[in-house]
Amino acid sequence: MGKSCVNATPFVKKIGQGGTGSIYLADDLRLQGRLCAIKEVEHNQTLPSDILEQAREQFFREASVLARLDHPNLPKVSDYFSEDTRDYLVMDYVPGKDLRELMQEAKRNKTFLSESEVLRWAVQIADALNYMHHQNPPIIHRDIKPSNIKITPSGLVKLVDFGLVKIMAPDEVTITVIQGQGTALYTPLEQYGGDDTHTDPRADIFSFGATLYHLLTNEPPAEVRKRFLNNRSLIPPREINPNLSLHIEKAILWAMSLHPDNRPLNVLALRDALVGKQDVPLFPARDLLGFETPQITIVSAEQIVSYFAIGLFIIGFITTLLR
């Protein structure tokens, strides 16, 4: 590709692939021996030219916001640039395994990740999300999942991949950095809307809860669309991992409530519920696990015929009276 920006040399290798672009590893020109990750954003070229231009302008606005973030559990965005039809984010490369890899190792060994260790990770993730959600305007990650959370060799948690991040600008329908809906297993119902106007920090709370569900059970949670149709499709975590603490199960199910109003008000409330500092509200089971399927009464063919005959009789009777 040649020199990609003032900060990085030609890409060393591809280290990730998404639906809208790749992630590359590169050397930093300014600091010898330092590696950075370059996230490629390839916009949909079939969009009308004015919408495409808005998307690229939105990319630069959001990239400039991300570049101002400074938190120990977030990779630092150091630059952003464009080449032809693609835009790029330059950020710290985070070495180490992601939580999906660690979970898969535990599953192969027929065991579960340590509850106390997952809680230590969860506290750090909550701190990062709280920091993002309290920016002005708030920043929503929108793609929290085990493979987007890495553990550095020193044990520090990093919430990576800002691919679907949304800046909640007031009175503005935003076009996200990368158009998409997140990963289905961890995505709340409201995130399936087309214009993002219904997405707020509670969407991240849902994805965070779904991520913890997967990490502590080795099993992916039921997708929300399936839960909407069948409120028993989400298996309570303790039925899969009986050693899981009851208060943690309650906190996870609280976060995974289908309706945003039934979830924790903010990520710190979820954190406190996870560590036992806050009680979970006493929602009915259907509010935590799904919506109740309405009872539908099936009318027999004989009844339909009877109702039809009665209707014809009434119409005939009224017609006779009017003559």
In which domain, by residue range, is 41 found? 13-92
pLDDT, tens only, 163-205: 545 655 444 433 333 334 457 889 898 887 655 556 899 999 9
Residue 320 maps to a domain: no
**Residue 202, both tokens:** 């509670």
The last residue of a domain, from among 92, 120, 140:
92
The last residue of a domain, from among 73, 92, 111:
92
Is the pLDDT at 298 greater than 70, yes or no? no
Same-domain check for residues 127 and 259 = yes
Q: State the average pLDDT over residues 61-71.
A: 87
Q: State the average pLDDT over residues 204-208.
A: 96
Same-domain check for residues 149 and 17 = no
Annotation marks residue 143 as catalytic: yes
Report the distance separating Cα 263 and Cα 250, nearest Å.
11
Q: State the average pLDDT over residues 236-252.
A: 97
3-class DSSP state for residue 219?
coil
Same-domain check for residues 229 and 248 = yes
Return mean pLDDT, the chain. Answer: 80
Residue 70 maps to a domain: yes
Same-domain check for residues 71 and 113 = no
267-274 and 246-255 are packed helices; what angle lies between their axes, rounded to 10 degrees? Answer: 160
Residue 297 maps to a domain: no
Q: What is the pLDDT at residue 165?
A: 56
Q: What is the pLDDT at residue 204?
A: 95
Bridge partners for 41 per DSSP: 87
Same-domain check for residues 65 and 145 = no
Residue 294 maps to a domain: no
Same-domain check for residues 166 and 211 = yes
Residue 313 near residue 306 (C-beta atoms within 8 A): no
CATH of the domain at 142: 1.10.510.10
Please tell me which residue, 154 or 193, carries the higher pLDDT value: 154
The last residue of a domain, from among 63, 92, 121:
92
pLDDT over 90, % of the chain: 42
Residue 188 maps to a domain: yes
Catalytic-role residue among 28, 87, 127, 143: 143
Q: What is the pLDDT at residue 170?
A: 46
Q: What is the pLDDT at residue 193?
A: 63
Same-domain check for residues 33 and 133 = no
Nearest to 271 by CA among 66, 70, 73: 73
Report the distance separating Cα 248 and Cα 234, nearest Å.
16
Same-domain check for residues 103 and 177 = yes
In terms of average pLDDT, the best of 79-83, 226-230, 245-249 is 245-249
Work out how many domains the chain is built from and give that number.
2
Is the pLDDT at 321 greater than 90, yes or no? no
